[in-house]
């Protein structure tokens, strides 16, 4: 387990005076301000945050040492951490911090036992719920919803994460009508199998070698 936990991320700037847009990852979003000061991932830089407003899914904050739009823009994407011992203890084995999952191996369950699936690389929230980013055993990067249906078991202490990925995870997406129109209304030969003529008949437009 990591000794430092990511509790927030700077997602951008706001205005010209150096304010930041910060997304909180704590169970109670406003609790992130109770853990001041926060540090970057390397622990090299410290930030004390003061909330000045709220956005749809983030806070507007002033941070010590951040002055001006350029300085704020340069911090976009920076994750903010606190030492684990400053956070509340986890009382239930089903509870965990997202940071504890990074690097864990995942498996799928089947009649012949477990099968390796991939390694958890990151956890994202793109606005429709948490999503796991994994490096699949094939080497491909895949994303699956971090839901009970797709991740039925997480046991950090036992080092076990079971996934049940969507059945179409590796199925290439077919274009929707608008995309098809942009493509000229045609699919490639690889996308659309050619119609086969019934046995004994020649495809339309093709003649046999016999004279008529």
The pLDDT-based confidence of 86 (bands split at 50, 70, 90) is confident
Question: Quick one: average pLDDT of 106-128?
Answer: 88
Tell me which of 8 and 184 has the higher pLDDT: 8
pLDDT digits (tens, 9 = 90+) for 123-155: 887 767 789 999 999 999 999 999 999 999 999
- Alpha carbon dihedral 166, 168, 171, 176, in 10-degree steps, equals -120
Which residues pair with residue 174 across a beta bridge? Answer: none
Element of type H or E holding 113: strand 113-125
Residues of the chain above pLDDT 90, percent: 49
pLDDT tens for residues 34-58? 999 999 989 999 999 999 999 888 9
Q: 52 near 19, Cβ under 8 Å?
A: yes
Tokens at 211, concatenated: 């004279």
Instruction: Count the Cβ atoms, other than its own, within 10 Å of residue 11.
Output: 17
Q: Which residues does residue 144 pair with via DSSP β-bridges, in sequence order?
A: 132
For residues 190 and 166, what is the distance between their CA atoms, to the nearest angstrom?
Answer: 23
């Amino acid at each position: 387990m990591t000794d430092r936990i990511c509790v927030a991320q700077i997602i951008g700037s706001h205005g010209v005076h150096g304010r930041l847009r910060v997304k909180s990852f704590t169970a109670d979003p406003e609790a992130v301000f109770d853990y001041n000061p926060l540090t970057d991932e390397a622990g090299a830089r410290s930030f004390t945050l003061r909330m000045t407003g709220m956005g749809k899914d983030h806070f507007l904050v002033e941070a010590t040492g951040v002055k001006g739009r350029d300085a704020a823009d340069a911090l976009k994407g920076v994750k903010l951490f606190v030492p684990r011992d400053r956070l509340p203890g986890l009382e239930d084995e089903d509870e965990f911090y997202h940071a504890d999952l990074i690097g864990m191996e995942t498996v799928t369950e089947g009649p012949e036992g477990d099968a390796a699936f991939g390694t958890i690389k990151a956890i994202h929230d793109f606005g429709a719920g948490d999503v796991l980013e994994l490096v699949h055993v094939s080497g491909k990067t895949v994303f699956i919803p971090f839901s009970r249906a797709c991740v039925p078991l997480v046991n950090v202490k036992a080092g076990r994460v079971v996934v049940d990925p969507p059945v179409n995870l590796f199925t290439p997406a077919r274009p929707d009508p608008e995309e098809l129109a942009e493509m000229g209304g045609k699919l490639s030969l690889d996308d659309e199998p050619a119609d086969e003529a019934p046995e004994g008949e020649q495809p339309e437009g093709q003649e046999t070698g016999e004279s008529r």
